[in-house]
Structure 1
Amino acid sequence: MTATPQSSRLGTTMPSAATTPSVQYVQAAQRHMRDADALRALARLPGAGQLFGFGAECGLKALLIACGVMPDAKGEIPRRTFRQHVPILGNNIVAYGHLIPDGVLANQYLAPLVHVSKFNDWSTDHRYWKDSAVPTASVEGWRTAAMEILEMVDRAKQAGVVA
């Protein structure tokens, strides 16, 4: 029996089990970074900051999959330890690195990320805050960390480790 697309609550068609996974961390990371840079160029720093964080998160998750963390059928990271937002995700990679299946690749692609801690004051909750409450002085640090992660994703792509 072939799986058929299912309807969601919003009436859109959801991918079936026979289709490509809907989650594509590399593509999402690149999209968030492009959009963040566009907002940054317009001095819309609260929005840019949010997208730098989400871009970094997607990049880290792409690297985790490259290092052997198996995604679920949708392409998502299933393990609760790594299914987090930054900064928790970055902290968990350090604290629970022994859970990453391919330690050699983890040392090559995750260990050199020295700027991940710049996200320590980033929060998904910033999306609800008034502009003046978001720590916009941190946006350049968030961008630096996110760029470092995306550069590592690019290296992994060049090596054929990330699709």
Structure 2
Amino acid sequence: MTALQQQGQAAKAATYVLATAGTAKKNAALNAIADVLTERQAEWLSANAEDVAAAKEAGMRPAMLDRLTLTPERVAGIVDGVRQVAALPDPIGKVDKMETRPNGLIIGRRRVPLGVIAIIFEARPNVTVDAAALCLKSGNVCILRGGKEAIRSNRCVAELMRQALRSVGLPEDCISLVQDTSHE
């Protein structure tokens, strides 16, 4: 079994816990993520500085380099975004379009988590956090695959988020990062 298959199985197992976690638990996890990113921002910035140095050496275009670069101000914005997601109403369980059929059968649509969402994105470490936060709020487990240029930043922030999940009693596999940066 490949590492990616194992990661997928662990993510699938985490769906059963996250789907029933409830709003308070998901919000606690999001706030724990915001807290750990604030408290340990120096680690994330250090990993990002390594990514930026390697990208400069590889000749990355200035616009892409800017997207890759984290600063304390950008981290504060990312943290604020996570707290904003936590403050949003929980979309799960909401019933839309309830109707009664002529035979008396009541039919409606209820919002439920999808399960596991895989997201592939470019070298933007902020997307790692944004995507994870939105998935978590909607009760979905995520497997993230960022660009190879941001691998150090993404590894660091993914581990910080996984620690935050553990601290509130959710499986760390609710958020995972594909470690292999090859296209194969």
Max Rg structure: 2
Q: Which has the higher contact order (CA 8 A, sep 6+)?
A: 2
TM > 0.5 fold call: no
Q: Shorter-normalised TM-score: what interval?
A: under 0.3
